[in-house]
Structure 1
Amino acid sequence: MTEFASLGRFEFACGESIADLVLAYEAYGEYEGDNAVLVCHALTGSANVANVGSPGRREGNEDGQARAWWDAVVGPAKPIDTTEYFVVCANVPGSCYGSSGPPATDPETGAPYGADFPPVTVGDWTRAQARLLEHLGVDDVHAVVGGSVGGMNALDWAKRYPERVDRIAAIAAAARLDPQCLALDAVARRAITSDPKWEGGDYYPGHGPTDGLGLARQLGHVMYLSKASMDEKFGRREAGREAPDTFPADPGSLFFAYRDVESYLDYQAERFVERFDANSYLYLTRAMDDYDLADGYTSDVDALAAFDGQALCLSYTGDWHFTVEQSERVAEAFRETGTATAHHVVDSDHGHDAFLAEPETLAAPLRGFLASGVRAGSVSDTATATDRSSQFAPVHTSLFS
């Protein structure tokens, strides 16, 4: 069940503060002093990482990351076993699933924060999570686990609180975004801010710039899939029905085919605008784009130098959002500090969201890492992947090549 922690005044990295930071969170299992696992959600995820104790909550949200978004990974007898670990997942500041963010009510004005909410960073997420864990009576963390920007969040724990965490699992993540992804995120944000219904971010009450947000989400979905997966899933097939009224149609649309890939993107846009806030999308993508592990340090190695635990990097060959090469560079930075590190490469054509869509590919390595750390056979001996510490497979580095 989602709970809410009121954590008092919070100053963000930008220097602005709010009177009361509220974090929506869920906790599973029993805390025993040394068994806490913090799970960091991806860009549009929520605190509801699993169905533990709440059967049926995933219904209608299987593709949305809104509910039970990692139900195959977190729970009794699952890779992150809630009978062994005290698992906490918090919705990050700036989001729209119960934590303080643009659509939340400012207690000082009684109105939504809107564009007055302070800019947020991944570092702010980490500091907020640390405060939540203190609120829950958790001092040290057995492991921090995250995928995508949640993996960046996990890396930030190794950098910011190296003495408080023993193991870091960064899945489909990197130390920073490359220019191609920065460019695509910028276009997505401009789709939102160009929508007349955005109104400078102060569109509450109401749904706001649904067309712009829908376009931004469509661009995101293209980023999450690989060329191979798109070809297999859609090809050039026609959808077999007329286009919905998701977006205005051009005059030639009735003559040309409405294709499966368009239908898929329109469906994703329709679903997304029903559940997510446009301002939050702006805030969270900005935080992701801004993140640089080496910020404030001379290098990634320097940023991780104080971490004295163990690290697991897990990447997917079909992921061009956060590539295998980027994950290997993170693993190498850990190794240069003397950290026991495994880089587990999964051969998959699915694309970036494989860690959500193919949870079975990470089950064995993650379970082994949490239980035994980095040791021979503990994270690499599976039928679907190999641990490639010194060499790794080429990936689709560009969707457009």
Structure 2
Amino acid sequence: MPVDTDAAVADLGEFRFECGESIENLEVAYEAYGEFTGDNAILICHALTGSQNVASHRTQWDRQSGGSSGPPNSAGQARAWWSDIVGSGKAIDTTEYYVVCANVPGSCYGTSGPANEAPDGEPYGTRFPPVSIGDWTRAQRRLLDHLGVGRLHAVVGGSVGGMNALDWAVRYPDDVQCVVAVAAAARLDPQCLALDGIARRAITTDPNWHGGDYYDAETGPTDGLALARQIGHVMYLSKSSMDQKFGRRAAGRDMVRDTFPSDPAADFFPYRDIESYLDYQAEKFVDRFDANSYLYLTRAMDDYDLSEGYESDAAALAAFEGEALLMSFTGDWHFTTEQSETVAEAFRADDVPVAHHVVESDHGHDAFLVEPENVGPPLRDFLHNGVRGQAVTDTVAADGGDDPEFAPVHTSLFSG
């Protein structure tokens, strides 16, 4: 039977980052769901600004704090970001699997990061060591050792969490049977690198950033962080979804521009729905996330390259002997279906059983969060059966040709 959700912070001792710098005590905040039986553990890797709170609605932190905003440094974390996928009777069934989700180093939801106290008693700020996705993977391995978990049934991740999952196949190929990367890629393309660079510049040019030492200041770099988040949201949406949801409509006379100051002439022009939406998202985000953490985590994502240190992606994955599921969405221009197919080809080159499930969607990158009806069925089937008997390579090419490699679909390629 499942046990109560375990929400905790593990002190993993001294940790040396890939950059060569160390901290004396790496604390990792995590949540665990279900009961460990020895071979049923699944690690879930969260997206860029996500947290360990993948499924629960009322955690140990709520019980201990009477419903306050969450674990230390959480600043009001978003709740249960994949609760439609993880839970009793769901695609990742917590009555069947022991599920662990850990907040990554450099973040601000309980795991050691820039906002944490350094040995001198002051917040680290930008003195915190630079972090990489490899550091996230190594910290997760240390946490699982701490929990008594050896080999994993699966590592599952979305967005940059999917990169994290792929890194497990490279770094610990013998420790995981199944790898699932949803809306992910082997590396970011130059357009996304450029937008991330602009987002970071918005933070570091905010006069209230103070070189990263703003924790004792009356006001932090909220304007810069808000702009960075707005850039991110534009990356997560598709042209089609923005047109359908917002169009060119004005927000209405009762709406006000209160997130950013506007020039006097702006009052002559409409304040549009899309502007109002982005302002609302930015206002919510600055209340829950740390600006320095945003700098650290986007740099880790930008730096990731599956083939780093190897001749190719296939060479990087050569030691992995499990199975893989890749999921992508046609409306996602942040991590495209073509990028997922490139990873699938690397697995195929190593004779790794791999399924690339492509969902035709208008939602953009956010589809992996908002379309559980498309994510859940193939994920559930893959965790139970792998790619055996589910002939993904029998699908018809989207152009009607003979290429069976992958094709956009409306329904699951895996029969239930």
TM class by smaller structure = over 0.9
Shift in Å at residue 378 of structure 1?
7.8
Partner of 2:300: 287
Q: Tell me the alpha carbon deviations over residues 127-185 of structure 1, each in whole angstroms, 9 at most, x when there is no partner.
A: 00000000000010000000000000000000000000000000000000000000000
**Mapped pair 1:176 → 2:187:** yes
Q: How many residues in Structure 1 have an aligned counterpart in Structure 2?
A: 387
For the residue of structure 2 that corresponds to 1:2, the secondary structure is strand
For 2:9, the equivalent position in structure 1 comes to 4
Shift of 1:310: 0.1
Separation in 2, partners of 1:8, 1:287: 22
Find the partner of 2:245 among 216, 233, 249: 233
Counterpart position of 1:272 = 285
Q: Is this contact kept in 2: 1:364–1:379, CA < 8 A?
A: no
Q: Separation in 2 of the partners of 1:378 and 1:179?
A: 34
Find the aligned partners of 2:394 and 2:158 in 1 and give their Cα distance: 21
The whole-number CA distance in structure 1 between the counterparts of 2:77 and 2:374 is: 18
1:263 corresponds in structure 2 to 276
What residue in structure 2 maps to residue 390 of structure 1? 405
The residue number in structure 1 matching 2:350 is 337
CA contact (8 A) 1:365 1:379 kept: no
| Paired letter, 1:294 | S
In structure 2, how many angstroms separate the alpha carbons of the residues matched to 1:114 and 1:157? 29
Name the structure 1 match of 2:334: 321
Instruction: Name the counterpart of 1:88.
Output: 100
Contact 1:369 1:378 in 2 (8 A): no
SS for the counterpart of 1:89 is strand
> Is residue 157 from structure 1 mapped to residue 172 from structure 2 by the alignment?
no
Quick check: 1:13–1:121 contact (8 Å CA) kept in 2?
Answer: yes
Counterpart residue number, 1:45: 50
Query: CA RMSD of the aligned region, Å?
Result: 2.4
**Residue number among 146, 155, 161 corresponding to 1:135 in the alignment:** 146
2: CA distance, partners of 1:38 / 1:343: 20
Mark the CA change 1:196 to 1:244 in structure 2 (over 3 Å): closer, same or farther.
same
Amino acid at match of 1:390: E
Compared CA separation, residues 342 and 156, structure 1 to 2 (3 A) = same
Kept in 2, the 8 Å contact 1:368–1:378? The answer is: no
User: TM-score scaled by structure 2?
Assistant: 0.89
Residue 24 of structure 1: SS of its match in structure 2?
A: strand
Q: Is 1:18 aligned to residue 23 of structure 2? A: yes
- Unaligned 5+ segments in structure 2 are 1-5, 71-75, 410-416
Please list every run of 5 or more consecutive structure 1 residues that lacks an aligned counterpart in the other structure. Answer: 395-401
CA distance in 2, matches of 1:221, 1:148: 13
Match of 1:213 in 2: 225
Using the alignment, how far apart are the partners of 1:171 and 1:251 within structure 2?
Answer: 45
Q: Aligned ranges for residues 56-75 of structure 1 at < 5 Å? A: 66-75=78-87
C-alpha displacement of 1:248: 1.2
Which TM-score applies when normalising by structure 1? 0.92
Say if 2:28 and 2:104, in contact at 8 Å, map to a contact too.
yes
Identity of aligned residues (%): 68
Distance between the aligned counterparts of 1:197 and 1:256, measured in 2? 30
CA distance 1:56–1:3, change in 2 (3 Å):
closer
Deviations 1:245-279 (A, max 9, x none): 21110121110000000000000010000000000
The answer (yes or no) to whether the contact 2:77–2:109 under 8 Å persists in 1 is: no
Partner Cα distance (2:393, 2:287) in 1: 40
Asked if 2 retains the 8 angstrom alpha-carbon contact of 1:27 and 1:89, the reply is: yes
Alpha-carbon offset, residue 392 of structure 1: 3.2
Task: Give, in whole Å, the separation in 1 of the partners of 2:180 and 2:393.
Answer: 14
What SS class does the counterpart of residue 87 from structure 1 fall into?
strand
CA deviation vs aligned residue, 1:223-253 (integer Å, no higher than 9, x gap): 0000000000000000013323211101211
